[in-house]
Structure 1
Amino acid sequence: MTNKVGEEIKLIFSKLYNQYGPQGWWPLINYECSNTTKTGATKGYHPLNYILPKTRDEIYEIILGTILTQNTAWTSAEKALLNLNNLNAINPEKLLSLGDDTLKETIRCAGFLNQKAKYIKAVTNFYISLDGTIPTREELLRVKGVGNETADSILLYAYKQSEFVVDAYTKRIFIHNGIIKENDNYNKIKYVFESNLEPEQSVYNEYHALIVEHAKRYYNKKPYGQNDRLLLRI
């Protein structure tokens, strides 16, 4: 990877951070804090607090969130988490005690309820089996419903591991800026970032969150990045 690419990746991070500030990911529904400067949901975010999650159930809540937000907006996933919280089911053992129909109805607002109910049960059983240990990426990828993006999100946000998360927004921004190519796969893009950034959990955390914030503003509608004055290359 050329030094020029590394310099651009670092420069973009600096521009995004200076523009939007710390994002406070991953949100926790019972955390009494917020980030009112961001787009969409604002509650539960904790800017500059990288200690969270601290408890077993907070870690589990983030894992649930990574499943619930697949193919849907975070606002819908958040509603599903609030529904589960109303049933005191943001706890692995309590969630597994829910009947299938109850679980599906509770998470209906997040879409794909049949599929996600199966994924939630699978990842919950896996989480219990860990007995407090940190899973490897390979172990996570063997769990039904956990792909590359979900595995890296779990490791980065739930377990504070330095794994860079790549999503559709990452591709849109960095293809638009000529740093990655249209046909680059997930692991190649992940390598581009990880080989050009210090392996610091806080940096990976903020960079992914900042990409999402910027993309929501400028990369949600085609042509992507048309009005992007922050990153648009000359």
Structure 2
Amino acid sequence: MTRNKADLHKVYKVLYRIYGPQHWWPGDTPWETCVGAVLTQNTSWSNVEMAISNLKRSRHLCPVKIRNMPLSKLEKAIHPSGFYRLKAQRLLAVTDWWLANVNDDKLHPKGKPLAFWRESILSVKGVGPETADCILLYSFNLPTFVIDAYTKRIMARHFGFKPNIDYHELQKYFMDNLPSDPKLFNEFHALFVRMAKEDCRKSACLKGCPFL
């Protein structure tokens, strides 16, 4: 395939045909999804699930309760996600942002463009582009494409992109060549994750890799 607009539509159709709908991101509420996006940095999703289960079990999985939670108790709850002291501070920073900007799971003030909210959440200490886009896409259904290591691996290995391509350069390629549809962005990113975990491993592609 060459790098053109038709490629991304074809890639999506191939992945969707093989893997089907992914129902991603797992989370019962926008806030739970946000917490997952913060905790998933540098760890596996199974570890994040354990940390979120701890918060649920102690009835602290809401922003006000996390904000008022003793730091030692919060660190213990999210310990399974790794780097728990650092992540506790990041989660508290995101919690403060949420309490200041979210009402009834909706961003306020209403009517602000994606760029406004992206700049807003990127100003939170410890939040980088990938985490910001995960929160905006999966918690608030805003049309921003998430770029992660899986996406970079697949696009470099199979479609001629540089392995170390800049986050925003690759994101721009997707957003310039796909409809601005959060549902599509959601599913496409989830399909990349599925493909990378199952068939396009870090070491090599397996026989089932769709683009071998």
Say yes or no: TM over 0.5: yes
1:99-157 CA-to-partner distances (Å, cap 9, x unmatched) read 11111011000000010000000000110001422571001111011100000000100
Q: CA deviation at 1:9?
A: 1.5
Partner of 2:81: 110
- Pairing 1:148–2:129 present: yes
Given that residues 80 and 107 in structure 1 are in contact (C-alpha distance below 8 angstroms), is that contact kept between their aligned partners in structure 2? yes
Partners in 2 of 1:101 and 1:80 — Cα distance?
14
Matches of 2:78 and 2:164 in 1, distance apart? Answer: 34
Of residues 52, 56, 73 in structure 2, which corresponds to 1:81? 52
1:226 deviates by 5.1
Amino acid in structure 1 at the alignment position of 2:195: H
C-alpha distance after superposition, 1:193-228 (max 9, x if no partner): 1111001111000000000001001233413x2535
Match of 1:53 in 2: none
1:214 and 1:183 map into 2 onto residues whose CA distance is: 20
Instruction: Give the CA deviation at 1:17.
Output: 0.4
Q: Does 1:25 align with 2:24?
A: yes
Is the partner of 1:195 in helix, strand or coil?
A: helix
Contact 1:140 1:146 (C-alpha < 8 Å) held by counterparts: yes
Query: 1:3-42 maps to which residues of 2 (within 5 A)?
Result: 4-28=3-27, 31=28
Higher relative contact order (CA closer than 8 Å, sequence separation 6+): 2
Aligned residue in 2 for 1:176: 157
Query: Which residue number corresponds to residue 98 of structure 2?
Result: 127
Which of the numbers 156, 161, 167 marks the counterpart of 2:148? 167
In 2, the alpha carbon distance for the partners of 1:189 and 1:196 equals 11
Q: Residue 4 of structure 2 aligns to a residue in which SS?
A: helix
Q: Is the 8 A contact 2:38 2:90 kept in 1?
A: yes
Residues 37-116 of structure 1 aligned to structure 2 (within 5 Å): 58-116=29-87
- Find the aligned partners of 1:170 and 1:78 in 2 and give their Cα distance: 22
In the aligned structure 1, how far is the partner of 2:198 from the partner of 2:169?
26
Cα 1:65–1:217, aligned 2, differ >3 Å: closer, same or farther? Answer: same
CA–CA separation in structure 2 for the residues paired with 1:226 and 1:19: 15
What CA RMSD, in Å, does the superposition of the two structures yield over aligned residues? 1.7
- Structure 1 segments, 4+ long, off by >4 Å, are none
1:230 aligns with 2:210: yes
Q: Percent sequence identity over matched residues?
A: 36
Tell me how many residue pairs correspond in the alignment: 202
Q: Read off the aligned partner of 2:172 and give its amino acid letter.
A: Y
| TM-score between both structures, scaled by the size of structure 1 | 0.82
TM-score by length of 2: 0.90
Determine whether 1:196 maps to 2:177. Answer: yes
Q: 1:98 deviation in Å?
A: 1.1
In structure 1, give the amino acid aligned to 2:122.
L
Give the residue type in structure 2 aligned to 1:64.
V
